[in-house]
Amino acid sequence: MHRLVILSGSSHPEFTQLIAEHLNIAETQVLRGKFANGEIRFELEESIRGADVFIVQSHCGAVNDMLMELLIMAQTCRYASAHRITAVLPFFPYARQDKMQSFHQPITAKLVANMLVLAGVDHVLTLHLHADQLQGFFDIPCDNLSAEIAIIPWIQRYLPNWQEMVIVAPDNGAVKIASSIAAQLDLRMALLHKDRVKPGEVRDMVLVGDVTGKPALLVDDMADTSRTLLFATQRLIEAGASKVYAVVTHGVFSGNAIQLLTESPIELIMCTNSLPQAACDCDNKKFHVIDISRVFKQCILHMHKNKSVHQLFASRSMALTDDDHLQLEDAEQVLEEDLVVKQQLEKQKSETLINESKVGFRLSKR
């Protein structure tokens, strides 16, 4: 089996370190920096020839620098004769421009996909894409992990009277995950139809559904300026919701979003650590950050062993521990045991067919 190598970009080294610790391996040492004119400098400090390389790079802060650094790292690994290069992108950049709203707009998500392929990336592993169709932009495999595996246990553990809750999609794009969570928890769902003036600015929202006297949970893929969450909270309270909670996969929280959310009527806000969340961790009891590094660790392990990632998430044996860490190892063991049983049954069936064929051959000779 090819050697497993983990490389960290500059965007979220703490997340990469968590993954490496869960895998019980050391990160491969690299030299990162910038030239005097601001160009990115990168160099591997050890050989990765023939290795199965996973480059972990989320995209926040200086997004363009992080993307360029990822491309340079991928090309470096390709020139260094890596066996396979997987880009692990907890937060995929430029995902919001995934279609032409007018004849004068680019499809930037497709451009990024093309750039990754040209840089030498063989596989992409990401979390909760802004739109599922982004997977089709790639000419290489792209695994889009669902955040539901972390969201549902959090709801059951941290939200009081969650059985009475109404799951609310703040816009049409959030309907899929909101309806899936509502179905799995056997809860009602509502939708807020958003009239957006321009990106980051909402003019009006119309509620479809009833939240009167019920706690409401807003579910979305990301919170950037957070104005959508704030506007949605206002509409839900006006519609009679007793309390409002929010859960987002990617907490971008640009500008003064943290302050606005802290001062808002939202009771509790959950996001994952797909992006650095130092601002949320600073004694702010309104925010709860869930560690999803074990999810990525297990997916990386499955990919390295050429096992199915889909089967891992299809298992119902996964649950959150007291640390908010996912015990995926048990699920993997269950899947392996199921696979062994299946192989044994197929072997028995094959042997039976062979024996029947031999008997038939003997009878025909007589």
CATH code for the domain defined by 4-145: 3.40.50.2020
Q: Is the pLDDT of residue 272 over 80?
A: yes
pLDDT band of residue 77 (cuts 50, 70, 90) is very high
At residue 71, what are phi and psi to the nearest 5 degrees?
Answer: -65, -40
pLDDT of residue 151: 87
- CATH fold of the domain at 148-291: Rossmann fold (3.40.50)
Residue 242 one-letter amino acid: S
pLDDT of 250 > 90? The answer is yes
247 has a pLDDT exceeding 90: yes
pLDDT mean across residues, the chain: 85
Query: Span 215-234, mean pLDDT?
Result: 93
Whose CA is closest to 299, among 326, 280, 322? 326
Q: What is the pLDDT of residues 345-356, one digit of tens each?
A: 566 666 666 666
Residue 318: its pLDDT value, please?
Answer: 47
Q: Would you kindly state where each structural domain of the chain is located, as residue ranges?
A: 4-145, 148-291, 315-355
DSSP letter at 162 equals G
pLDDT in the model for residue 278: 75
**How high is the pLDDT of residue 200?**
53
At residue 202 the predicted structure's pLDDT band, cuts being 50, 70 and 90, is low
Q: How confident is the model at residue 23 (pLDDT cuts 50, 70, 90)?
A: very high
Whether the pLDDT of residue 116 is over 90: the answer is yes
Do 4-145 and 148-291 fold alike per CATH?
Answer: yes
The arithmetic mean of pLDDT across residues 84-95, rounded, is 95
